[in-house]
């Protein structure tokens, strides 16, 4: 069987005179691709006046005359292969071309037909800029480099949209740890599954208000699997599906202040049908990943055609090759092997050829491949990429950091920070003197942005489970979100007074709980119903009060179907914020309430018809979330955010609170002035650890006398629950830090000689302030422990008034006990001291461990130790070599 | 008699036969497509290409997947027709030209040609299934496509 190219060559030979006859049989041969088949128009005057069958017979006879062809090649070819042979007279051909121009240019077939490549017209520079990432083969690091480039750009304040067009194996959502719940948020939506366009906002939040939004290929819900398979099966037959999607994307992109700066498209490997239509309709630069480790020094012909097609379709900027080296010892300075050098030369030659073809000046000189040496970028194996999460660019090895920078330059992307910061988002001023206070609810100091948390300030972001340990700023965060109108608080902490919501221990919340007969699902569904009907009118607390006064039966307003109907009628989607779960109900019932809330959230998540109508963002202590429901990991995947303060962010937080302290701001006015100068950077947590420490050490002494500890170490060690090692699990506690600073300020004001010989605050005052703050932290913890612990006496006759007193008794019992300790032994000691039942002591210890008050002693099975943060507050005695 | 099965299929129209059913459905499709002005350029019986013309006439923005499915059916019909062996005008076995379905009338049905270049029975059944699917699809999307069966 001949190939189609050979058959076309045979037919072409009929357009030439053989020298014997004066004229050739065919006047013209036209080949074009109209999906799903190749159309070959065979045009001859000799077809005039005869029927189609006879024309076909003639054509076959001419071929047979010209060479010893298969005697039935025409019939066999059209019967077996996707090719249509149209036998036309010149007049018929002219008529056909007048109204039948449906050639599919943006297809691999059309691209492969052309030799040399068709003249491409350079597209005009567009805003936003489009960049297409393509690799003929997979496994070359394409998506990883794409994600890292995007992060680098977002960290410089640019707004990026990533489009996952790796149609058959999409993965960008997994790479960023986010997922789409509905078709509106996906490329599939643009391909016909939805009329809306709502990419996942804030998949990554960079510095200076930069961010990455993501348009995944498909929703990550099981019910979308079949749809996904259908798209993959049908779309290849009609490239207009992707062209239509690209058009819709362009029409739907936000304009003005919300516009994206750069849109990066991750393409499918090979000659997938989606690649060229999207590139053609979204003109920009292309990054082609190329392997150089062939066994031969010749680049396969189809790869050369592919490269040519890619660059012809994205000719506004020449484009770049990225070559991934699998050699772990390969460094940028290493010489290329001869084979690799030749492959590189050939591929750059293809790029040069496309650039020449797109040059409007016909007399332009040939472009040398050496002129394009910067269009070839090497990428190296990197240990930083072995971590489960995508690392920051700064953590890559230096050669790869250079490669990212080169990539930006070669693609004509901005190499520095965005010139104008996006207005609106950074509008929080830290000028003035906010009154600092102890609790998170009452801390009115400036809000400090942690990069991870900034994602929450992007409207429509996918994070609905905001988890954090006690004192990591959940309440403060909710407050800030409410202040920015990013959600309506539904339930808030007991001491939260700034937001009009139901407070967890208010008379109203307790009365409504009673009316719900403490049934958790009824409580949540009824609360949601009230909030939906309210639509931001009354405060939820007032709405609850009205329902209580009207003696409404909660069951009657917690019907799920009715609530769904109400949701579908909403004028605009609603976002509710839920906090204060820890103090809503007594410890024994708290799990039921978290479980019920998470189940309701799961219900909304998994129902595409309402997923975008109602979003509940819950702020929950992570130990409560961990065991709330079965398959919690699955429900939280891509939707949870952990509040975690790193060393650099906590130091920026500390600096931001310094000007709010009366005595310190009076006595260290120069430091405060410098802090004010850097306030914008500090507010974004962007002042380096080194610079922040330097500033603090102009107020604090270099060393602390107690333990002879350097103050820098103290600041890293004593406010974190993992000794400041900044692992994935450790976090710093802003509430403790704030309390420490306030105590220090107060003690210094009281002290007659608060400064040492170096004019820094005395070391002893720092120790005293820490001890006090730590005790206060424990005291505050006690309030939450009264909801967390369920302490019962062995003797039923013993009666103590309330849970708070029981917890105080239990906490006091730790004073003087040794740490580290044997778990089983301390149970007996505590039981003896308190008379609480063994079961309740055991359970309480486990719950306290869950909130990191205790931790395992590494290397000693059955041994625990007190958490760094609680050592001082619990007054336990540290005993070295306790094992003896 | 070489066309025994063919004659029986067309003569005994009260009894279902994949050849008869495929043929009548293709005639109906051809007429309906022509009626909507979806013509092909090579041969007046080129139903696969008429389907492509119909697909390309659709507004892809409005019905992206309807258009793709029509092309998919076109490819399937082309392949199914080409897989049937018929008796050519030169009295030699030849594949049915996809651009001219009436050739299926002369298909060399299984059992009629002493096992030489016969069309396996399942090929005709496959063709019939394809024709039924196309008709069902066009009926379901008649308003969008503008073709009425």
* Cβ partners under 8 Å of residue A632, min gap 6: A598, A625, A626
Indicate if the pLDDT at residue A348 is higher than 50. Answer: yes
The closest of A796, A864, A871 to A836, measured between CA atoms, is A796
Asked if A102 has any chain B CB less than 8 Å from its own CB, the reply is yes
pLDDT value, residue A69 = 62
Chain A residues touching residue B50 (CB < 8 angstroms): none
Chain B residues touching residue A80 (CB < 8 angstroms): 82, 95
Are A474 and A468 a contacting pair, CB within 8 Å? yes
Task: Verify cis geometry, omega within 30 degrees of 0, for the bond prior to A820.
Answer: yes
Mean pLDDT of A606-611: 82
Indicate if the pLDDT at residue A436 is higher than 50. Answer: no
How close A50 comes to chain B (CA, Å)? Answer: 12
Which range, of A11-20, A456-465, A684-693, B129-138, averages the lowest pLDDT? A11-20
Query: Cβ contact (<8 Å) for B52 and A87?
Result: no
Mean pLDDT of A508-537: 86
Are A532 and A567 a contacting pair, CB within 8 Å? yes
**Got the DSSP string for A631-653?**
THHHHHTTTEEE----HHHHHHH
Query: Cβ contact (<8 Å) for B98 and A78?
Result: yes
CB-nearest to B71 from A36, A41, A52 is A36
Task: Verify cis geometry, omega within 30 degrees of 0, for the bond prior to A18.
Answer: no
pLDDT value, residue A395 = 85
Indicate if the pLDDT at residue A454 is higher than 60. Answer: yes
Whether the predicted model's global pTM rises above the 0.80 cut: no
Are B149 and B135 a contacting pair, CB within 8 Å? yes
Q: Which residue of A has its CA nearest to B95?
A: A79
Tokens of A190: 């643009």
pLDDT value, residue A51 = 84
Chain B residues touching residue A102 (CB < 8 angstroms): 56
pLDDT value, residue A429 = 36
Chain A residues touching residue B141 (CB < 8 angstroms): none
DSSP state of B103: G
* Cβ partners under 8 Å of residue A810, min gap 6: A785, A789, A791, A830, A834, A836, A841, A844
Query: Cβ contact (<8 Å) for A52 and B100?
Result: yes
- Comparing A650 with A119, the larger pLDDT belongs to A650
The closest of A738, A784, A652 to A444, measured between CA atoms, is A738
Task: Verify cis geometry, omega within 30 degrees of 0, for the bond prior to B58.
Answer: no
Mind listing the pLDDT tens digit for each residue in A187-230? 999 998 888 899 998 889 887 788 999 999 999 888 899 999 98
The residue among B48, B53, B65, B73 with the most chain A CBs within 10 A of its CB, best to mutate, is B65
pLDDT value, residue A706 = 67
Cα-to-chain-centroid distance, residue A472? 21
pLDDT value, residue A79 = 79
Buried b (16+ CB within 10 A) or exposed e, A178-202: bbbbbbbbbbbbbbbbbeebbbbbb
- Interface contacts A/B by beta carbons within 8 Å: 101
Query: Cβ contact (<8 Å) for A79 and B97?
Result: yes
Helix axes A338-358, A301-313, angle to 10 degrees: 40
Mean pLDDT of chain A: 81
- Comparing A788 with A761, the larger pLDDT belongs to A761
Radius of gyration of chain A from its Cα atoms, rounded to whole angstroms: 35
Asked if A238 has any chain B CB less than 8 Å from its own CB, the reply is yes
- Comparing A221 with A1, the larger pLDDT belongs to A221
First to last CA, chain B: 36
What separation in angstroms does the CA of A56 have from each of A15, A23, A88, A586, B80? 16, 19, 10, 88, 21
- 3-state SS class at A628: coil
The closest of A774, A779, A712 to A740, measured between CA atoms, is A774
pLDDT value, residue A235 = 83
Indicate if the pLDDT at residue A456 is higher than 60. Answer: yes
Query: What are φ and ψ of residue A278, in 5° steps?
Result: -70, -40
Quickly list H helices, chain B.
Answer: 4-11, 18-35, 47-57, 64-82, 121-140, 142-145
Banded model confidence at residue A136, pLDDT cuts 50, 70, 90: confident
Are A469 and A645 a contacting pair, CB within 8 Å? no
The residue among B59, B60, B141 with the most chain A CBs within 10 A of its CB, best to mutate, is B60
Indicate if the pLDDT at residue A385 is higher than 70. Answer: yes
- With 0-12 / 13-18 / 19 or more C-beta atoms within 10 angstroms meaning exposed / middle / buried, residue A151 is buried
Chain A residues touching residue B75 (CB < 8 angstroms): 36-37, 82, 237
For A42, other C-beta atoms within 10 Å of its C-beta total 27
Tokens of A217: 């290929």
Indicate if the pLDDT at residue A724 is higher than 50. Answer: no
Are A466 and A578 a contacting pair, CB within 8 Å? no
Cα-to-chain-centroid distance, residue A795? 54
pLDDT value, residue A100 = 57
pLDDT value, residue A708 = 58
Banded model confidence at residue A419, pLDDT cuts 50, 70, 90: low
Query: Cβ contact (<8 Å) for B67 and A37?
Result: no
pLDDT value, residue A364 = 53
CA dihedral sign of residues A558, A561, A564, A568: negative
Query: Cβ contact (<8 Å) for A241 and B98?
Result: no
Indicate if the pLDDT at residue B148 is higher than 60. Answer: yes
**Which residues 761-800 on chain A approach chain B with CB closer than 8 angstroms?**
none
Are A839 and A847 a contacting pair, CB within 8 Å? no
The residue among A78, A230, A250, A252 with the most chain B CBs within 10 A of its CB, best to mutate, is A78
Mind listing the pLDDT tens digit for each residue in A88-122? 899 888 877 765 556 666 788 888 886 555 555 55
* Cβ partners under 8 Å of residue A833, min gap 6: A813
Indicate if the pLDDT at residue A267 is higher than 80. Answer: yes
Indicate if the pLDDT at residue A171 is higher than 60. Answer: yes
Query: 């002035």: which residue's tokens?
Result: A673
CB-nearest to B82 from A53, A79, A237 is A79
Number of H helices and E strands in chain A, helices first, is 36, 24
DSSP state of A581: G
Which range, of A329-333, A696-700, A730-734, averages the lowest pLDDT? A329-333
What separation in angstroms does the CA of B91 have from each of A41, A70, B2, B94? 28, 17, 12, 9
Query: Cβ contact (<8 Å) for A79 and B98?
Result: yes
The proportion of chain A whose per-residue pLDDT surpasses 90, expressed as a percent, equals 16
Query: Cβ contact (<8 Å) for A234 and B89?
Result: no
Mean pLDDT of A501-508: 86
Indicate if the pLDDT at residue A437 is higher than 50. Answer: no
How close A288 comes to chain B (CA, Å)? Answer: 29
Buried b (16+ CB within 10 A) or exposed e, A467-487: bbbbbbbbbbbbbbbbebebb
Indicate if the pLDDT at residue A430 is higher than 50. Answer: no
Taking the C-alpha atoms of residue A204 and residue A209, their distance in angstroms, rounded to an integer, is 11
How close A515 comes to chain B (CA, Å)? Answer: 52
Are B99 and A273 a contacting pair, CB within 8 Å? no
Indicate if the pLDDT at residue A682 is higher than 90. Answer: no
Chain B residues touching residue A86 (CB < 8 angstroms): 41-42
Query: Cβ contact (<8 Å) for B94 and A240?
Result: no
CB-nearest to B65 from A80, A86, A192 is A192
Chain A residues touching residue B100 (CB < 8 angstroms): 52-53
Asked if A80 has any chain B CB less than 8 Å from its own CB, the reply is yes
Taking the C-alpha atoms of residue A63 and residue A73, their distance in angstroms, rounded to an integer, is 9
- Comparing A33 with A453, the larger pLDDT belongs to A33
Asked if A297 has any chain B CB less than 8 Å from its own CB, the reply is no
- Which regions of A707-786 does DSSP assign to beta strands (E)? 709-710
- With 0-12 / 13-18 / 19 or more C-beta atoms within 10 angstroms meaning exposed / middle / buried, residue A556 is exposed
Buried b (16+ CB within 10 A) or exposed e, A749-764: eeeeebeeeeebbbbb
pLDDT value, residue A427 = 35
Query: Cβ contact (<8 Å) for A234 and B61?
Result: no
Q: In B, what residues contact A, Cβ < 8 A?
A: 41-44, 46, 48-49, 52-53, 55-56, 60-61, 63-65, 67-69, 71-72, 74-75, 78, 81-83, 88-89, 94-100
Q: What is the Cβ-side half-sphere exposure of residue A130, based on CA atoms within 13 angstroms? A: 26
What separation in angstroms does the CA of A289 have from each of A344, A397, B83? 12, 20, 40
Query: Cβ contact (<8 Å) for A238 and B67?
Result: yes
User: Averaging pLDDT over each range in A8-17, A291-300, A386-395, B75-84, which range is the top one?
Assistant: B75-84
The closest of B77, B79, B45, B55 to A104, measured between CA atoms, is B55
Indicate if the pLDDT at residue A435 is higher than 60. Answer: no
Chain A residues touching residue B71 (CB < 8 angstroms): 35-36, 237-238
Chain B residues touching residue A87 (CB < 8 angstroms): 42
How close A79 comes to chain B (CA, Å)? Answer: 4
Query: Cβ contact (<8 Å) for B74 and A36?
Result: yes
Query: What are φ and ψ of residue A735, in 5° steps?
Result: -65, -40
Query: Cβ contact (<8 Å) for A192 and B72?
Result: no
How close B81 comes to chain A (CA, Å)? Answer: 7
Asked if A235 has any chain B CB less than 8 Å from its own CB, the reply is yes
Banded model confidence at residue A294, pLDDT cuts 50, 70, 90: low
């Amino acid at each position: 069987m001949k190939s189609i190219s050979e058959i076309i060559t045979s037919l072409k030979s009929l357009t030439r005179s053989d020298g014997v006859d004066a004229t050739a049989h065919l006047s013209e041969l036209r080949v074009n691709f109209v999906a799903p088949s190749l159309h070959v128009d065979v045009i001859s005057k000799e077809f005039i006046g005869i029927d189609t069958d006879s024309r076909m017979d003639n054509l076959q006879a001419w071929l047979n005359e010209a060479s010893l062809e298969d005697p039935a090649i025409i019939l066999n070819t059209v019967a077996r292969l996707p090719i249509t042979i149209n036998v036309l007279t010149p007049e018929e051909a002219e008529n056909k071309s007048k109204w039948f121009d449906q050639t599919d240019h943006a297809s691999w077939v059309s691209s492969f037909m052309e030799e040399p490549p068709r003249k491409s017209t350079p597209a005009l520079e567009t805003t936003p800029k489009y960049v297409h990432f393509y690799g003929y083969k997979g496994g070359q690091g394409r998506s990883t480099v794409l994600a890292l480039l995007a992060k680098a750009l977002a960290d410089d304040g640019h707004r990026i949209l990533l489009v996952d067009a790796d149609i058959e194996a999409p993965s960008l959502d997994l790479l960023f740890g986010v997922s789409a719940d509905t078709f509106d948020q996906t490329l599939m939506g643009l391909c016909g599954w939805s009329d809306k366009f709502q990419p996942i906002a804030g998949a990554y939040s960079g510095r200076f208000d930069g961010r990455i939004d993501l348009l995944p290929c498909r929703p990550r819900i099981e019910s979308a699997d079949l749809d996904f398979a259908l798209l993959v099966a049908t779309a290849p037959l009609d490239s207009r599906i992707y062209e239509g999607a690209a058009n819709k994307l362009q029409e739907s992109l936000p304009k003005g202040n919300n516009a994206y700066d750069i849109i990066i498209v991750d393409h499918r490997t090979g000659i997938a049908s989606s690649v060229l239509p999207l590139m053609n309709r979204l003109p920009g630069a292309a990054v082609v990943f190329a392997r150089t480790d062939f066994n031969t020094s010749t680049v396969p012909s189809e790869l050369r055609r592919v490269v040519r097609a890619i660059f012809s379709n994205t000719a506004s900027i020449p484009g770049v090759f990225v070559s991934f080296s699998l050699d772990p010892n390969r460094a940028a300075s290493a010489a290329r092997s001869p084979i690799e050098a030749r492959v590189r030369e050939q591929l750059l030659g293809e790029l040069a050829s496309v650039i020449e073809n797109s040059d409007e000046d016909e007399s332009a000189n040939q472009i040398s491949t050496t002129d394009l040496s910067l269009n070839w970028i090497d990428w190296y194996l990197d240990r930083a990429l072995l971590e489960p999460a995508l690392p920051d660019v700064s953590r890559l090895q230096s050669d790869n950091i250079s490669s990212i920078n080169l990539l930006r330059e070669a693609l004509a992307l901005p190499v520095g920070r965005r010139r104008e910061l996006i207005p609106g988002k950074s509008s929080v001023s830290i000028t003035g003197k906010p009154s600092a206070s102890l609790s998170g609810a009452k801390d009115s100091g400036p809000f400090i942005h942690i990069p991870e948390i900034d994602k929450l300030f992007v409207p429509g972001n996918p994070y609905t489970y905001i988890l954090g340990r006690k004192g990591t700023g959940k309440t403060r965060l909710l407050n800030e979100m409410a202040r920015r109108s990013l959600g309506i608080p539904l339930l808030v902490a007991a001491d939260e007074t700034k937001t009009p919501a139901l407070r967890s221990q208010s008379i109203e919340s307790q009365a409504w709980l009673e009316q719900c007969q403490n049934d958790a699902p009824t409580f949540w569904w009824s609360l949601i119903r009230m909030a939906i009907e309210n639509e931001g009118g009354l405060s939820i607390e007032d709405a609850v009060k009205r329902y209580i006064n009207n003696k409404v039966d909660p069951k009657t307003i917690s019907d799920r179907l009715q609530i769904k109907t109400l949701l579908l009628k909403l004028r605009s989607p609603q976002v509710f914020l839920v906090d204060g779960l820890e103090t809503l109900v007594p410890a024994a019932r708290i799990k039921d309430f978290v479980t019920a809330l998470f189940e309701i959230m799961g219900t909304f998540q998994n129902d595409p018809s309402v997923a975008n109508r109602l979003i509940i963002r819950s702020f929950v202590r992570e130990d409560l979330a961990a065991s709330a429901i079965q398959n919690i990991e699955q429900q939280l995947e891509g939707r949870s955010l952990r509040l975690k303060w790193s060393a650099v962010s906590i130091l920026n937080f500390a600096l931001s609170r310094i000007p709010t302290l009366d005595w310190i701001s009076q006595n260290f006015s120069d430091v405060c002035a410098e802090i004010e100068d850097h306030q914008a950077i500090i507010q974004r947590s962007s002042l380096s650890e080194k610079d922040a420490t330097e500033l603090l050490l102009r107020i604090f002494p270099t060393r602390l006398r107690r333990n002879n500890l350097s103050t820098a170490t103290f600041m890293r060690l004593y406010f974190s629950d993992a000794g400041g090692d900044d692992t994935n699990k450790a976090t710093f506690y802003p509430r403790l830090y704030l309390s420490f600073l306030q105590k220090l300020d107060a003690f210094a004001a009281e002290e007659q000689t608060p400064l040492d010989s170096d004019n820094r605050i005395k070391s002893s005052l720092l120790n005293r302030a820490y001890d006090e703050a730590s005790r206060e932290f424990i005291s505050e913890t006690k309030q939450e422990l009264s909801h967390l612990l369920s302490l019962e006496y062995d003797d039923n006759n013993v009666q103590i008034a309330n849970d708070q007193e029981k917890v105080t008794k239990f906490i006091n019992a730790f004073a003087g006990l040794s740490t580290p300790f044997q778990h089983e032994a301390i149970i007996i000691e505590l039981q003896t001291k308190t008379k609480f039942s063994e079961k309740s002591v055991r359970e309480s210890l486990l719950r306290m461990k869950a909130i990191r008050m205790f931790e395992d002693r590494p290397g000693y099975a059955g041994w625990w130790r007190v958490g760094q943060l609680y050592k001082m507050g619990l007054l336990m005695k540290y005993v070295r070599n306790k094992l003896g | 008699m070489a066309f025994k099965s063919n004659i029986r299929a067309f003569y005994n129209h009260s009894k279902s036969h994949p050849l008869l059913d495929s043929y009548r459905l293709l005639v109906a499709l051809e007429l309906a497509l022509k009626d909507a002005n979806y013509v092909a350029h090579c041969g007046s019986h080129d139903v696969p290409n008429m389907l492509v013309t119909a697909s390309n006439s659709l507004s892809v923005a409005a019905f992206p997947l309807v258009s793709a499915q029509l092309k998919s059916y076109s490819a399937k019909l082309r392949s199914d027709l080409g897989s049937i062996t018929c008796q050519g005008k030169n009295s030699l076995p030849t594949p049915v030209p996809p651009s001219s379905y009436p050739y299926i009338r002369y298909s060399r049905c299984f059992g009629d040609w002493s096992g030489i270049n016969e069309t396996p029975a399942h090929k005709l059944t496959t063709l019939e299934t394809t024709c039924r699917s196309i008709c069902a699809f066009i009926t379901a999307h008649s308003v969008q496509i503008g073709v009425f069966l």
